[in-house]
Amino acid sequence: MMRKVLSLVVGCFLVALAYGQQAPVPMTVQSPSTGTPTQTAQPPSADLDGLIREALQKNPGVQSALRQVDALRHRVPQAKTLPDPTVSVGWAGNITPFSVQNGDPSSNRAITASQGIPYPGKLKLRGEIADREAEAAWWDYEAARRKLVADVKSAYYDYFAAAKAVEITEKNKDLLQKLSSIAEARYRVGKGIQQDVLRSQVEISLLRQRLTVFEQQQGTAQVRLNTLLFRDPEAPLPPPASFEPAKIGHSLDELYTLAREQDTGLQREQRMIERNQYAVNLAQKDYRPDFNVGYMYQQRPDLPDMHGFTVTANIPIFYRTKQREAVREQTEQLASSQRSKENRQTELSFAVKQQYLLAKSSEQLLKLYSQAIVPQSSLALESSMASYQVGAVDFLTILTNFTVVLDYEVSYYRELANYQMALANLEPLVGVELTK
């Protein structure tokens, strides 16, 4: 489709050359369908997969989320472990350390060891709470990872569309400058009018204006990509590689199902619900006392050594303002996490539907450009060329149709980028790759 457009454009150029009795000017024409020049070598293209791998390795936001997961996983064995035992030594008698008074049975040297023992089940619940917090953090990391991948893809497609716009506009400008030269030559020999010369010069100025805008867009996309890759913002980037539009291999209902199963937000909220349910159970167990088991050894002068054992337990007599309120607190936390999950489900459905409709709209526009708009504008250009040869249309008609065809080519690549960006934004929600 795009090759046909170029052949018509070059044909128009050659017809104008012949009509104006000008010698052909050598030029390099770049094919928009392949992005490969016919006379010059193309530099290496940016590899999207390589950029994604680099971003995942270097991006500090993703690395920070991963370290947070590791930190919370180290908390799990701590929560499941008994409190540290305590050991104490002392003496009773003289003020001199570890000295006793002979003949006084109350004088002694003593060593005591004790171990706190939570009520059965509390340690396991604390471990489960820490484990769910670590899992929730892992889904936070997964969300950051997926978002980074989607951001890199979106920036890349934006960079691609801007680079194509610059490339096409440069080519368009060069051809228009040659057509303007033809118009000037025809005007000098009396076969053209001054209006043709002026109009071609105006079109060239407008193209230069558009070229400035496209170059700014390309520079912005390049800085965005470098930022995501944790590079210097002004680091050079190779030109983007060409690609074919992906196929939407899932229906909307299938995407809804995938989102409910794979969405990081829902998974995190589910882990927090489980965490808060364990916290409620633990608060209820706090009505039960914890224990402390101790052993004491005493050495006395002139008397046999003594051994002693103690078992102590706390009595939750202030349960009205402590344990009961703790249960109420954790119950509210549980209800809050349940409502938060329901809210995420609602937002998720909207986000999936929004990106799906954007993708389908862009897909239809791509078909319209490739199957209707560009072929029709190409036919209009071909018809005006034939009419121009017999003097039925003027030079401005050729110039207008020429510009329209190339403008639609810019629009085609922009819509291709929009289509891929919509699929890239769907990927974090559904957890599957859609852009290939």
Contact call for residues 182 and 17 (beta carbons, < 8 A): yes
CA distance to 27, 139, 247, 255, 362, per residue, from 428 (Å): 45, 12, 17, 12, 19
Sheet holding 86-92, edge to edge: 86-92, 108-117, 291-299, 306-313
Q: How many Å apart are CA 237 and CA 294, to the nearest integer? A: 69
Confidence grade of residue 77 (pLDDT, cut at 50, 70, 90): very high
pLDDT, tens only, 25-60 = 222 223 333 333 334 445 577 789 999 999 999 999
pLDDT, tens only, 410-431 = 889 999 999 999 999 999 999 9
98 vs 350 pLDDT, higher one: 350
pLDDT, tens only, 222-260 = 999 999 999 998 898 888 988 889 998 899 999 999 999
Threshold 0.85, pTM exceeds: no
Residue 372 has pLDDT above 50, yes or no: yes
- Tokens 């890759």 map to which residue? 229
Confidence grade of residue 101 (pLDDT, cut at 50, 70, 90): confident
Confidence grade of residue 158 (pLDDT, cut at 50, 70, 90): very high
Which residues neighbour 256 within 8 Å (Cβ) at sequence distance 6 or greater? 349, 352
pLDDT number for residue 31: 33
pLDDT number for residue 97: 86
Residue 5 has pLDDT above 70, yes or no: no
Decide: helix, strand or coil at residue 154.
helix
CA distance to 39, 121, 125, 266, 313, per residue, from 280 (Å): 73, 13, 10, 21, 22
Residue 357 has pLDDT above 90, yes or no: yes
Of 414, 435, 402, the C-alpha closest to 369 is 414
Query: How buried is residue 38: exposed, middle or buried, by Cβ count under 10 Å (0-12/13-18/19+)?
Result: exposed
pLDDT number for residue 40: 44
pLDDT number for residue 147: 96
Provide the strand spans (E) within 135-285: none
Confidence grade of residue 263 (pLDDT, cut at 50, 70, 90): very high
Rounded to 5 degrees, φ, ψ at 362 are: -65, -35
As a whole number, mean pLDDT of residues 209-225 equals: 91
Contact call for residues 406 and 168 (beta carbons, < 8 A): yes
pLDDT, tens only, 15-34 = 444 444 333 322 222 333 33
Query: How buried is residue 372: exposed, middle or buried, by Cβ count under 10 Å (0-12/13-18/19+)?
Result: exposed
pLDDT number for residue 145: 96
CATH superfamily of domain region 2-430: Outer membrane efflux proteins (OEP) (1.20.1600.10)
How much of the chain exceeds pLDDT 90, in percent?
A: 58
